[in-house]
Amino acid sequence: MKRHAFLYNPEAQGGKSEMKLERLRAFISEFKNGYLFHSQNIGDITVFIEQHFDKFDVFVACGGDGTVREVAATLIDTPKQMGIIPLGTGNDLCKTLNIPVKLEQSISVLKQANSVPIDVGQCNDFIFLNSLGFGFDGLTNRYALQLKHLHPLLSYSISALKAVINHSSFEVSVNKNGKISKERAIMFSLANGRVEGGSFWIAPNASITDGKLNAILVKPVAKWLIPVLLPLFLFKKSHLIPQVRSAEVEKLSLYFTADVDIHADGEIIEAESNKFDISLNANALEVICPL
């Protein structure tokens, strides 16, 4: 029988996940070899996995996309499996993996124990599972982190409107297979999953198992027009926007002439360099999901 470690982040969903803790405990009691670890500080989950790596077969991230990313970082290219109990605000990766948001249903997926090897993005010294964003969506996520108490669609919508007012365009050099192009843009994203911000379909056709990332570049747009175009991302119609370009890539390098806002799976990245080497580690992480 598999041994499960449930790694709970009390900060998920702006602290609101605490309301589900007792129900989570009850479900964990149904696992014969289940153990609940309640993190207290940033990095606790990583330390727990490293110290108890051989004691468990499945490490279950109980939190949002940030918690999932932290658990995944230690399990890449190992025989251990990752499970997910979505307790966060957006739970974006779960939408690609078809893991239900409701607690009882996500527990059911975990019990079925069907696993799939998924791709993992790598950028410099950090990973991303769902998406990596520079510029407009990085700024949007920076604002959204201040609004975790709101419904994810409302939080991301308000944050996007703030980003409309405060964003600026940037110049980026893109090196793809030795071919370099210079672009003026307001956003450059690499999508491994399909959804950002809970409901915004940044890459509706992306696959997390195909060994490719979807690169999305958005050229400068008049600020007054952005609120009109944003809803197209809600309805999987971003391809209708002339300023949006996309392509499948396995790796590329980006160089920005100035600092830009960056997020990885919704978490803000404070980079020390303006150069980013991005690649994909195919089939690097075994995840329990109904994909």
Q: Which of 191, 229, 232 is nearest to 210 (CA)?
A: 191
pLDDT average, residue stretch 266-277: 94
Amino acid identity of 123? C
Measured CA to CA, the distance from residue 24 to residue 36 in angstroms comes to 9
* 190, two tokens: 């690499």
Fold of 4-125: Rossmann fold (3.40.50)
Domains of the chain, residue spans: 4-125, 126-277
Domain 126-277 CATH assignment equals 2.60.200.40: yes
Amino acid identity of 261? D
pLDDT of 13 reads 59
| Residue 15 pLDDT greater than 60, yes or no | no
Name the phi and psi angles at 198, rounded to 5. 85, -40
User: How does residue 17 score in pLDDT terms, banded at 50, 70 and 90?
Assistant: low
- What single string gives the DSSP state of each residue in 60-108? EEEESHHHHHHHHHHHTTSS-EEEEEE-SSS-HHHHHHT--SSHHHHHH
Amino acid identity of 146? Q
pLDDT of 60 reads 98
Measured CA to CA, the distance from residue 64 to residue 30 in angstroms comes to 23
54 in Cβ contact with 44 (< 8 Å) = no
pLDDT of 250 reads 95
Fold: same for 4-125 and 126-277: no
pLDDT of 148 reads 80
pLDDT in tens, 205-236: 999 999 999 999 999 999 999 999 999 998 99
